Amino acid sequence: MSSSGARAAPKKGENYELRADLNSEYRDKRKDAIKRVIANMTVGKDVSGLFPDVLKNMQTEDLEQKKLVYLYLMNYAKTQPELVILAVNTFVRDSDDANPLIRALSIRTMACLRAEKIIDYLSPPLQKALVDEHPYVRKTAAICVAKLYDLKPELAIDNGFIDTLKEMVGDANPMVVANAVTALMDIHITSQNMLESGAETPEGVAKVTWQINSAILNKLLIALNECSEWGRVAILTQLGRYKAVDERESEHICERVVPQLQHANGSVVLAAVKVIMIHMKHISSERADLEKQLIRKMAPPLVTLVSSAPEVQWVALRNINLLLQKRDDLLQNEMRVFFCKYNDPPYVKVEKLAIMVRLAGENNVDTFLSELREYASEVDVDFVRRSIKAIGQCAIKIESSAERCVGVLMDLINTRVSYVVQEAVVVMKDIFRKYPSTYEGVIPTLCANLEELDEPEAKASLIWIIGEYAEKIDNAEELLGIFVDSFTEDAYLVQLQTLTAVVKLFLKRPDRSQPILQRVLDLATKCDSPDVRDRAYIYWRLLSTDTSAARAVVMAHRPAISLPRTTVSPAVLEELISDIGSLASVYHKPAETFVGKGRMGAESMKKSILEDEVQAREAAIQKVAAGQVAENLLDFDDAPAVEGVAPSGIAAAVASTPGVSKVLTSSNPLDDLVSIFGAGGTAAAASSGGNDLAGLGGIVSPVSTAPPPGQGLAGLDMFGGASLPAAAAPTPAKPPATQPQDDLLGLF
């Protein structure tokens, strides 16, 4: 038998020796040989050639040896499909063994082999196992049905296994219930995937769908209190999928799930939070007390999660961040819990910081600021920068604290640590945007650090500040002159800001700044970046044609910035909240964006985009109607959004000023631009062209300045969201404003 292997075996080497030992007449020697085979397999050596020899040792009274042989089979069944068939007999015999452990082991392994040949023999033993007297066998069999369905759906359906599973949800043993629920859920997901890839028909899927009704709901709620921790997670997941028939039932579910918040296992806690968040929405409005109570009860368990191991903490923190976006009343008085520990891993610190910004309010801002100041003196540069950013976010979020925030920033700038100063300058710029003409007193301090700035963003920020307050800075020409001198060596981002700042200066003090303007325009129009060149030409032409139009464009009133309440769109937030604990909620991205193509329903993706679109449109209309526009603070950090504002402002001004419309029809650069975007040459159409242009500013510029790595799609989303208000903002024409936004959304 040993010589009947697939290939002629070598007469020497380790495998040769192993083969001899596997066929030894002594039991101990054979067992030892199997262990060595497994050891070789573990370190990645190919021992598939020993398949028949190992197989012979499968029939044994020794449980450990049996498990080892099974393990070997699982590994090599795919490469030796012809030989696996030899194992079937033993498997089938084992499935009748007196010991429930062996019975369960045999069907569990059989279903794991994933070999077509053996699957055909699985049905009869599985049939028996599903109704086995021992719950251990039944719970194992339940999962086997899911394995079988994954391999051969028709086999699972035709044998009535799915129906048996549905009955098992009513099993007396809670572990069996939990695994039956798990299996049904797994089958559901698999069937959806197959439907999408075309491997399964809607009728086929209908056969395996499992609807929870009120009777099943009660069984689940009872089993929930009795089963093991992981079983609870499975049941809670199903409760989250259940659609309650009325308000009473929603309340009932919430009340029954609340005790699970006390469970020591964090995944049970988060699963319970999820169920409560889902069903809380449907509680009748008269039971506001219950809702309040539920929110109150969720807080302490969430806080406790922050004391777990760092990895668990991080996952919990990501979810807490989402929950706070939905319910900002959830952890109102708990900010201290999120204070960073000195030895927290960086990924935990970053999350804690984000959550603290969310929780910051007038009552706790002082403690928060003193914490931030402490963080700003740590050694982790990335964390220090984020802490300084948080100071800015604080100032923008809480108006009454702005002055104290500025004070802290000034202290930090005085430390003269390069990266601290640079970040503080960037943050100061945001504060200037939010509170124009309030903190001009600090400008000299900022300008004193001009030499220290070498990062494009910090440079651009300072230049913007100088341009904005040029009339109040005596030596503005001189300061900007420094940047004009180094113009050709600077990043595009800095070049664009320098250009705009000089134009602002010229408009404010035309007498003194003519030479510097000429110099910067000369340099910029010869720049190799089309963005810089185009902007320079536009300014040039505007200035030479009509300075009042230029003034309207360059010095246009900009909308105030504010902190976005959510980092994802409302529809996505809703989806993520109902999926708390999942990878999607940890990444803060909808599942479709990271699971492989064809795995998740394209249907649902379309739907959510559609919903998104509807919501965004509504929001845009509301904004326009209300005449107030908020702009995303985050985007200014990545500067391009600001660049987006400028060109759109131009187009708007172009459209609204009849005098300039001649320029539009007759002269080249803008005309070219407009025609690129397919808008007609008429003044009426130009307004929509302007919007497209703004949108493009938002889309194209981030590419040229390279968005921060790792943000991927979220980054794109952000810019998409950003260019919306940017596009809507300066355009006086109201109704058509929604049109281009649809186009924009289409792009994403």
Q: Which of residues 266-295 bind other proteins (CB under 8 A)?
A: 266-267, 270-271
Taking contact as CB under 8 A, which single stretch among the options 178-186, 211-219, 355-363, 542-550 is the one that binds other proteins? 178-186
Q: Which residues contact 39 (CB under 8 A, 6 or more apart)?
A: none
- Extract the tokens encoding 252: 């009932």
Choose among 707, 735, 737: nearest CA to 724. Answer: 737
Contact pick of 106, 237, 321, 461 for other proteins (by CB under 8 A): 237
Q: Which helix (H) or strand (E) holds 562?
A: strand 561-562
Q: What is the dihedral of CA 622, 625, 627, 632, to 10 degrees?
A: 20
CB of 124 to other proteins, least distance (A): 21
- Extract the tokens encoding 73: 């089979």
Minimum CB distance to other proteins smaller for 42 or for 562: 42
Query: Does residue 748 bind other proteins (CB under 8 A)?
Result: no
Q: What DSSP line would sit under 497-554, residue for residue?
A: HHHHHHHHHHHH-HHHHHHHHHHHHHHHHT-S-HHHHHHHHHHHHHHHH-HHHHHHHH
Query: Does residue 179 bind other proteins (CB under 8 A)?
Result: yes
Contact pick of 119, 234, 360, 521 for other proteins (by CB under 8 A): 234
CB of 296 to other proteins, least distance (A): 11
CB of 58 to other proteins, least distance (A): 14
Q: How far is CA 618 from the centre of its chain?
A: 24
> DSSP 3-state assignment of 284?
coil
Taking contact as CB under 8 A, which single stretch among the options 50-58, 260-268, 536-544, 637-645 is the one that binds other proteins? 260-268
Contact pick of 304, 332, 445, 529 for other proteins (by CB under 8 A): 304
Minimum CB distance to other proteins smaller for 530 or for 598: 598
Site for other proteins in 690-709 (CB under 8 A): 709
CB of 431 to other proteins, least distance (A): 23
CA distances from 87 to 64, 71, 108, 428 (A): 17, 13, 14, 73
CB of 259 to other proteins, least distance (A): 4
Q: What DSSP line would sit under 195-220, residue for residue?
A: HHHTSS-HHHHHHH-----HHHHHHH
Query: Does residue 560 bind other proteins (CB under 8 A)?
Result: no
Site for other proteins in 313-332 (CB under 8 A): 314-316, 319
Query: Does residue 64 bind other proteins (CB under 8 A)?
Result: yes
CB of 80 to other proteins, least distance (A): 16
For every residue of 641-677, which 3-state class applies, written as one string? Answer: HHHHHHHHHHHHHHHHCHHHHHHHHHCHHHHHHHHHC
Query: Does residue 106 bind other proteins (CB under 8 A)?
Result: no
CB of 270 to other proteins, least distance (A): 5
Query: Does residue 68 bind other proteins (CB under 8 A)?
Result: yes
Site for other proteins in 134-153 (CB under 8 A): 134-136, 139-140, 143, 146-147, 150
Minimum CB distance to other proteins smaller for 264 or for 625: 264
The greatest distance separating any two alpha carbons of the chain, rounded to the nearest whole angstrom, comes to 106
Nearest 5°: the CA angle 640, 642, 648 is 105
Q: Say if CB 744 and CB 728 are below 8 A apart.
A: no
Q: Which helix (H) or strand (E) holds 631?
A: strand 631-632
Site for other proteins in 28-57 (CB under 8 A): 31, 35, 38-39, 42
Query: Does residue 240 bind other proteins (CB under 8 A)?
Result: no
Buried b / exposed e over 479-512, threshold 16 CB at 10 Å, is bbbebbeebeebbbbbbbbbbbbbbbbbbbeeee
Contact pick of 214, 228, 488, 668 for other proteins (by CB under 8 A): 228
CB of 693 to other proteins, least distance (A): 33
DSSP β-bridge partners for residue 561:
631
Total residues interacting with other proteins, rule: CB under 8 A: 104
Contact pick of 15, 95, 182, 691 for other proteins (by CB under 8 A): 182
Taking contact as CB under 8 A, which single stretch among the options 8-16, 415-423, 450-458, 666-674 is the one that binds other proteins? 415-423
Minimum CB distance to other proteins smaller for 101 or for 733: 101
Site for other proteins in 352-381 (CB under 8 A): 367, 370-371, 374, 377-379
Give the count of beta carbons closer than 10 Å to the beta carbon of residue 655: 23
Minimum CB distance to other proteins smaller for 595 or for 684: 595
> DSSP 3-state assignment of 367?
helix
